[in-house]
Structure 1
Amino acid sequence: MNRKLGTEALELEIAGVDVGCLLWDLDEVELAVRELALYSQFSEHFRDAFTCIHNATSFWLEDGQYADCAESATKTMFRLRDPIEEHFYFSEPTSLPRVVRRFLGIDHPASDTQLVATYALIQAVQAVEVLANWLFDLERSLYDLDLDLVEQLRQTDPKQYLLLIQSERKRKSDFEIDAREEFADFNGEASKILMLASLYQQADWADISRNDFSASGFLRRALENAFAAKASEKGKAAGKANSKPGTIKQENTKKLFEDISKAAKSQISADPNITETELVKALVDLGKASAPTVRKYLRKGKFLPR
């Protein structure tokens, strides 16, 4: 089973850059993100996410090089991110390495610290993905008007080009709300999980042979304090969901998923060979939702990857 891990394509594109490896290709993504017309307005958001990404990948460094299993492990965890997240959500924070090993294999050579750091890496990458692709799709939609004219405007009159983008941004303000909310969720989770990885690393370095120190005890107490708020939030959310199962937000989310699924079936029926990029673009053009939101619900409905 382990020999097959990491052999499938990553199926990830950020700001027009195909990402084949989370360890090697994100420098190119960062450069592409900096070229986005509205980058300066979201530079702090991107800096936070990329800082988390760089810190997370550093956990795989051994003597200045990435561990042999780093690429396959990160690729497999990204591909299986949805079921891993689903299992982890209903588990204790300290169970994350065990949850991941259900999918990678109990005897996977990666340390618990590296697996936890990779989960943080994946959350941060998704944060960059939703924000960067919203900005990228915003610019790309302009080219549907007149490719040559818009490109000439971009090169010769950046101020006018920016005004055009701002106008399109206002027209599609709902997409911005989706992208910002998803970014905040992914980036916040990435920061918390990276802290968890640091705690695991401290436990790894601890001298557990000393009678006056227990690494496992330290880790357990630290995690209880660090994630007490998260557990409380989950409990409150669950209580609200049980008492109000038909809230407006839940109903709207369900309706959006059903709407996107119906539209996807229609597009695939009309063109069985439609690619992932074409399918997402078609649904965005139909006004279903932003590209990040469309991709999320297409994955949920098993329409992606294709």
Structure 2
Amino acid sequence: MDDENMPIGRLEIAGFDVSNLLWELDDIEQAVRELALYSPFREYFKEALELANYATSFWLEDGRYPDRAGSVVATMFRLRDEIEEHASYADAASLPSVIRRFHNIDHNAADSQLVATYTLVQSIQAIQVLANWLFETELYVFDLDADLIAQMQVTDPKKYCALAEKERLKDPGGEIDARESFRTFMGDADKAIMLASLYRQVEDTDVSNGNFKVANFLSEALSKAFSAKASQRAAAAGKANRKPESVKQQDAANLFERIRSAADRHILANPAISERELKKALVKKEGIASEPTVKKYLVIGGYLPR
């Protein structure tokens, strides 16, 4: 299985490099909240994040995640395309079997946990496709005058948001694609979480009891799958995901410092280095972060445009 911490650049959401889906849902939420165009899409992100939190709750044991949970999540995220392809040809109820075909997956995980992890992966992809479209739209604003726009972000955020809104209106096709992709991922996630809830009910049921009746069980299981307990579990998972705000800020500060130091080093070695080559050096050669993240911090640091 994969290490629970994913490599830099594997998953980037709104300029934030995600390394651990179990522990960084709060960070993802913070990243999307900082988007200039967050407000019109607040309910979209809320829906997806609540579902992601609920999905992680299937791994909770006495309020904590077992050691293997992070590795299973990271592995399934890496294999997401292959799993989705195989699942598209199989019956929905056979999703756990489809996932177990991949030898990298921990076979000791319960069916409900595997299906819930599939839900998590789908909901995260929904967030990613929408957030990154908004983030990239926002980056176009900096093409006007990077220094002026960076200052405007701080001194006149309303005007900055208005400029971002203008950029959004220039690409209605991109918005349609982002919205449709979001709904596709969320549709898959919604179906999967219901299946995960059913598997959880099966796992918790003592079938050796002579009074066990399939019809009654299915009726009760379906009722529970659609019940308000989802929000309660989401709240429990949310508590497990929280990290101190100071840690988030320190992580961002450390990343900015790494990008700044690397940029200084490359510019010192080649004062005529182009914007394209500078970004390529930091992203491809040094692997510090994804291109949108590197560009964001280079702009903030005054290194771009060149």
Length-normalised TM-score, structure 2? 0.69
Query: Does structure 1 conserve the Cα–Cα contact (< 8 Å) formed by 2:15 and 2:293?
Result: no
Partner residue in 2 for 1:116: 115
Task: Spell out, residue by residue over 1:128-181, the C-alpha distance to the aligned partner (whole angstroms, 9 max, x if none).
Answer: 001111111111121122111111222222222122111111112211111101
For residues 134-145 of structure 1, the aligned pairs below 5 Å read: 134-145=133-144
Question: Is 1:47–2:40 an aligned residue pair?
Answer: no
Question: Is 1:17–2:16 an aligned residue pair?
Answer: yes
Distance 1:75 1:49, change over 3 A: same
Question: Is 1:35–2:34 an aligned residue pair?
Answer: yes
Query: Does structure 2 conserve the Cα–Cα contact (< 8 Å) formed by 1:200 and 1:219?
Result: no
Query: Does structure 1 conserve the Cα–Cα contact (< 8 Å) formed by 2:4 and 2:20?
Result: no
Query: Does structure 2 conserve the Cα–Cα contact (< 8 Å) formed by 1:56 and 1:117?
Result: yes
Distance 1:46 1:107, change over 3 A: closer
- Cα deviation, residue 105, structure 1: 5.3
Could you list the runs of 4 or more consecutive aligned residues of structure 1 that deviate by over 3 angstroms after TM superposition? 4-8, 104-107, 214-223, 271-282
Q: Aligned partners of 1:160, 1:7: CA distance in 2, in Å? A: 38
Query: Does structure 2 conserve the Cα–Cα contact (< 8 Å) formed by 1:130 and 1:179?
Result: yes
Partner residue in 1 for 2:232: none
Q: Aligned partners of 1:21, 1:272: CA distance in 2, in Å? A: 25
- Cα deviation, residue 203, structure 1: 0.8
Q: Aligned partners of 1:163, 1:116: CA distance in 2, in Å? A: 41
For residues 174-253 of structure 1, the aligned pairs below 5 Å read: 174-213=173-212, 218=217
Distance 1:28 1:7, change over 3 A: closer
Q: Aligned partners of 1:186, 1:107: CA distance in 2, in Å? A: 24
Q: Aligned partners of 2:81, 2:52: CA distance in 1, in Å? A: 19
Partner residue in 2 for 1:234: none
Provide the secondary structure at the position in 2 that maps to 1:181. helix
Q: Aligned partners of 2:173, 2:153: CA distance in 1, in Å? A: 25
Partner residue in 2 for 1:101: 100
Q: Aligned partners of 2:150, 2:63: CA distance in 1, in Å? A: 42
Please identify, of 61-70 and 100-109, the stretch whose mean Cα deviation from structure 2 is larger.
100-109
Question: Is 1:125–2:117 an aligned residue pair?
Answer: no
Task: Spell out, residue by residue over 1:32-61, the C-alpha distance to the aligned partner (whole angstroms, 9 max, x if none).
Answer: 111111111111111100000000000000
Distance 1:35 1:107, change over 3 A: closer
Distance 1:67 1:85, change over 3 A: same
Partner residue in 1 for 2:153: 154
Task: Spell out, residue by residue over 1:228-273, the C-alpha distance to the aligned partner (whole angstroms, 9 max, x if none).
Answer: xxxxxxxxxxxxxxxxxxxxxxxxxxxxxxxxxxxxxxx9xxx899
- Cα deviation, residue 101, structure 1: 0.8
Letter aligned with residue 180 of structure 1: R
Q: Aligned partners of 2:12, 2:214: CA distance in 1, in Å? A: 40
Distance 1:211 1:106, change over 3 A: farther
User: How many residues matched?
Assistant: 235
Provide the secondary structure at the position in 1 that maps to 2:107. coil
Please identify, of 213-222 and 83-92, the stretch whose mean Cα deviation from structure 2 is larger.
213-222
Query: Does structure 1 conserve the Cα–Cα contact (< 8 Å) formed by 2:120 and 2:189?
Result: yes
Q: Aligned partners of 1:281, 1:178: CA distance in 2, in Å? A: 25
Letter aligned with residue 92 of structure 2: P
Distance 1:71 1:181, change over 3 A: same
Distance 1:174 1:164, change over 3 A: same
Query: Does structure 2 conserve the Cα–Cα contact (< 8 Å) formed by 1:5 and 1:104?
Result: no
Query: Does structure 2 conserve the Cα–Cα contact (< 8 Å) formed by 1:116 and 1:196?
Result: yes
Alignment root-mean-square deviation, CA: 3.2
Provide the secondary structure at the position in 2 that maps to 1:59. helix
Query: Does structure 1 conserve the Cα–Cα contact (< 8 Å) formed by 2:112 and 2:199?
Result: yes
Q: Aligned partners of 2:106, 2:31: CA distance in 1, in Å? A: 38
Q: Aligned partners of 1:17, 1:64: CA distance in 2, in Å? A: 27
Query: Does structure 2 conserve the Cα–Cα contact (< 8 Å) formed by 1:56 and 1:120?
Result: yes
Kindly indicate whether structure 1 or structure 2 has the higher relative contact order, using CA contacts under 8 Å at least 6 residues apart.
2
Provide the secondary structure at the position in 1 that maps to 2:12. strand
**Percent identical residues:** 51
Structure 2 runs not aligned, ≥5 long: 226-275, 296-306
Partner residue in 2 for 1:86: 85
